[in-house]
Amino acid sequence: MSRTDDLYLELTRLLRETAVMSSCSNVLGWDEQTFMPEGGAQFRSEQLGLLAGMTHERATSSRVGELLAELEGSGDLGDPDGDRAVNVREARRSYNRSTKLPRRLVEELSRTTTLAQQAWVKAREDADFPVFLPWLEKMIGLKREEAQAIGYGAGVPYDALMDDYEPGMTTAEVARVFGPLRDELVKLVAAIHHSGKLPNTEILERHYPKTPQIVVAEAASKMIGFDFKRGRIDSSAHPFCSGFGPGDCRLTTRYHDHHFPSAFFGVLHESGHGIYDQGLPVDSFGLGIGQADSLGIHESQSRMWENFVGRSRPFWSYMYPTVKEAFPQALGSTGFDDFYFAINDVRPSFIRVEADEVTYNLHIMLRFEMEQLLISGDLKPADVPGMWNEKFMEYFGLAVPNDSKGCLQDIHWSAGLLGYFPTYALGNMYAAQFFEAAHRDLGDLDTAFAAGQFRPLKEWLNEKIHQHGKRYPAKRLVEIVTGQSLSHVPLMNHLKRKFGGLYSLKF
């Protein structure tokens, strides 16, 4: 073995150990959300605090820094897209992010997050923005400091924050695609509104007993390719996907007796995340090649299975008989077209997480625009409700009745997750681009879906996306897989085709 081999081996051993340690936190976090009795909460935070501290200590150890410096200086890392160079590059990225923030800032962010979330919960309950305002001010101040500490090249401070979730993506690039996307979406929403057609959504609010909901949701998850030998689905208040590590990926959902879509599409969504996680190369656990590429790419997988596949006509032409049989009382007299239209209802609404496939992206853009202004200092936190409500009228044509249905609805700002929102809409665009490419590569997927065949798409995603981990930054991955750079066009084509048909629109 060469000296570089030795150093690389030592580095990967350290990285894997850090990832194993961090995965223990994931198990405890999952249990906290699913099964933990209420009395365990305080002690659980002590356990998680200790593990986090030990993981951080390992991730920032000076030995990792030395190994990285020597490896980078060796000129002996081979193909820059090869496993070794990628793993070193990603280790450097993550080492820099962990070591660049001064300890004081890390601790203040952690303290502020806890207190800001408590204030946010109260403020949202009472629709009382002033209760949250001082914490939002404090948080924005700290995130601006964070952006300075991380650095952002020739760009804007917001780049440094977004880079944590969507490595290599810049504010300018996102703005370039969000602009035309927003304009076209506003037009599409208006056209849908003026079509005068309205699905009967009461269909979805009938009585759907929990046990058959679990049965059909798990059957659908298995059908699209989530492997239950290497994962499972449980219930939690807020749905999530947590990949513990090789061979173990946990999904959660929530079941509502009188709302069919929550659990069913929630499970498809989380299954999309889970299939990605299960498709990462297990031997590279803890290394760049073994990790999901970006939040946007992750979201592209969940949105593809939830929306592009899961809300499509061919999917339901296969699935509807099963679901109808599982809920004879609710759906016995409901025809396919009515059901299919109901699950594709498009209408402007206040709450992002309840939004449909079309209006969802507008919710994101509004937040993206405001976050940039908050971080640049051009928007004062005190002016957030005013700008929110103004933009909401502009994009949705709706007057926000109170801040709980407006700028207080999301947890992200209180949790310090600034720069996170755009990845949701990027996910939708990536999904559309990938889906178009899959159709091109695989031929008639609609016929396959209508026959219950989802394996070709799943294996295509495994091969084109999952197995590469972080080999290519998201925007390059999109180019390699689809032959196109990031674009709003495939998403708009998909939405216009699908909803044009449903609402009898002419473009």
Residues that bind its own copies (CB under 8 A): 17, 20-21, 23-24, 27-28, 31, 35-44, 46-47, 50-51, 54, 227-232, 234, 244-248, 285
Q: How far is the CB of 40 from its own copies (least distance, A)?
A: 3
Cα torsion angle, 448, 453, 454, 455, sign: negative
Q: Which residues contact 168 (CB under 8 A, 6 or more apart)?
A: 473, 474, 475, 476
**Is the CB of residue 428 less than 8 Å from the CB of residue 303?**
yes
Q: How far is the CB of 399 from its own copies (least distance, A)?
A: 44
Q: Please report where in the chains the tokens 């061979």 appear, as a residue.
A: 247
Nearer to its own copies, 25 or 404 (CB): 25
Q: How far is the CB of 235 from its own copies (least distance, A)?
A: 12
In order, the DSSP letters of 308-372 are IITTSHHHHHHHHHHHHHH-HHHHTT--HHHHHHHTT-----S-GGG--TTTHHHHHHHHHHHHH
**Is the CB of residue 373 less than 8 Å from the CB of residue 418?**
no
Q: Which residues contact 141 (CB under 8 A, 6 or more apart)?
A: none
Q: Please report where in the chains the tokens 């703005």 appear, as a residue.
A: 175
Residue 484 parent element (H or E): none
Q: How far is the CB of 47 from its own copies (least distance, A)?
A: 5
Alpha carbons 495 and 188: distance in angstroms, whole number: 9
Nearer to its own copies, 246 or 348 (CB): 246
Nearer to its own copies, 48 or 186 (CB): 48
Nearer to its own copies, 42 or 62 (CB): 42
Residue 294 parent element (H or E): none
* Edge-to-edge strand ranges of the sheet holding 241-245: 231-235, 248-253, 241-245
Q: Which of 90, 146, 218, 270 is catalytic?
A: 270
Q: How far is the CB of 455 from its own copies (least distance, A)?
A: 19
Q: Does the annotation mark 108 as catalytic?
A: no
Nearer to its own copies, 37 or 153 (CB): 37
Q: How far is CA 175 from CA 109, 311, 364, in A?
A: 28, 28, 12
Kind of pairing between the strands at 241-245 and 231-235 = unpaired
Nearer to its own copies, 2 or 211 (CB): 211
Alpha carbons 348 and 470: distance in angstroms, whole number: 36
Alpha carbons 250 and 30: distance in angstroms, whole number: 8
Nearer to its own copies, 243 or 490 (CB): 243
In order, the DSSP letters of 212-244 are HHHHHHHHHHHHHT--GGGEEEEE-SS--EEEE
Q: How far is the CB of 43 from its own copies (least distance, A)?
A: 4
Q: How far is the CB of 230 from its own copies (least distance, A)?
A: 3
Active site residues: 270
